[in-house]
Structure 1
Amino acid sequence: MFEQNSAIQNQNQGLSLQKHAMKTFSIMGLGLLITAVIAFFCYESGFALRALLSMGSFSYLFLILIEFGVVIAFSKNLYNMNYTSAMVLFAVYCAITGFTFSTLGYAYDAGTIFFAFGVTAVYFGSLTMIGFTTKADLTKLGTICFTGLIVLILVEVIGIFFLDLDRYIMMLSGISILIFTGLTAYDVQKLKNNYYRYVGDGEMLKHLALYSAFELYLDFINLFLRILTILGNRND
């Protein structure tokens, strides 16, 4: 009887984990939809191009700083802020990303963008399955990849001022894909581990679903950008 009850309990927890994961990926999907809609509107209307030209040469740096600010605010205050406020902050970040992504339409043709998105979706889905099913502890991998990401960001920032990054763009994109491959699998495993850690705390799980969605959203868009760089045919 005890074994049967344990089996039923484990099965119920498994279903709850499935619902938690579905909620997480639904929020992530909503974020991607917001980004896509804003990007399409800004490109079709020409709003992004006019706004970037009016802001001058430091417009991209300004937008990057805003995005970093949102990331920091989101990460530090997620558990202290109201859930609705956290969702609004997430939506704002996705909208800003959509604004910056609208300029991709001037560099790549639509077919290439859709193809890169499809490749990213399939690749991301495969990494999600690995993160959910692997029995290996990916904590060390996550730490290594995060450290590599910081180094890569520093190299790219320094390169903007002192190097001709176009010569190294393919190499940097390949390294970035490797980094976010590890981070995606790690973030999915962390999603699962956090669920079992807070399985009895519904409020915490609700916030964790949003935070995991934010992390996975970042993983997806960074994979997409790097895959687009490798696969893309730039417009003249």
Structure 2
Amino acid sequence: MLGIYRNMSLALLVSASVAWLVASTPALYQPIFGTPLKWVAILAPLAFVLVFSFRFEKMTLAGARIALFAFAGVMGISLASILLVFTGASIVMTLLVAAITFFAMSLWGYTTRADLTRYSTFLIMGLVGVVLASLANLFLQSGTLQLIVSIIGVLVFTGLTAWDTQRAKNDYLTYGATDHGEKLAVMSALSLYLNLVNIFQLLLTFFGQRVEEA
């Protein structure tokens, strides 16, 4: 688990560094977010995750790790828009709330004796619904729909955090430190990374203060 959290933390550091670099460099963010390229920045992480998932079994351990950090870099470009839209204080506060929520649920998932697999179907269906509704709202721009998606999304991703943590623990108990076990640990790091990032982004609906409102 320490290795998984380490990989997840490194991926978050990569994303934060790329996001800060893009957001603080007009020559980078203007061509991206001021043109139709913004759609590439928004949708690229989703495409990357799909490719990563479908090709995971064919990847080597080193390839899986490279893919994780490459994805973190792509995600950082997408997250740069947050630094441009919301105030620094509200971003820090939201990140703190998201981190506390994430680690509380992850700790519970690691220590609970309940089998969380029974909730997996509900969580996956919720995840698909949140993704589809979020994609639809990119075009609809409905404040009401965004609020509903944010509430449901936070519940879904906190549940996924507990489930993914328990699954990572069980994977280690099953495969140990084998190559396959190490690859699964990389996938677990990606899953937990996505859970935290999505909890953070969804909570911005409630805690984020836009720059023009400051």
Q: Same fold (TM over 0.5)?
A: yes
Pick closer, same or farther for the CA change 1:164–1:82 going to 2, 3 Å. Answer: closer
1:44 is aligned, of 17, 20, 24, to 24
Query: Identity of paired residues, percent?
Result: 28
1:134 — aligned with what? 112
* CA drift at 1:210: 0.6
CA distance in 2, matches of 1:165, 1:217: 27
Give the alignment of 1:19-168 within 5 angstroms.
Answer: 21-53=1-33, 56-57=35-36, 59-161=37-139, 163-168=140-145
* CA drift at 1:53: 4.4
1:173 counterpart letter in structure 2: S
CA offset digits 1:102-148 (Å, max 9, x no partner)? 11122111111111111111111101111011111111212211101
Q: Which structure has the larger Rg?
A: 1
2:13 counterpart letter in structure 1: L
1:191 — aligned with what? 168
Q: Is the 8 A contact 1:142 1:182 kept in 2?
A: no
CA distance in 2, matches of 1:93, 1:63: 12
Instruction: Give the TM-score normalised by structure 1.
Output: 0.84
CA RMSD of aligned residues (A): 1.7
1:181 is aligned, of 158, 161, 164, to 158
1:135 aligned counterpart, secondary structure: coil
Q: Is the 8 A contact 2:102 2:161 kept in 1?
A: yes
Q: Where does the alignment leave 5 or more consecutive residues of structure 1 unmatched? A: 1-20
* CA drift at 1:159: 3.5
Pick closer, same or farther for the CA change 1:47–1:99 going to 2, 3 Å. Answer: farther
2:77 counterpart letter in structure 1: F
* CA drift at 1:83: 1.8
Q: Where does the alignment leave 5 or more consecutive residues of structure 2 unmatched? A: none
* CA drift at 1:234: 1.4
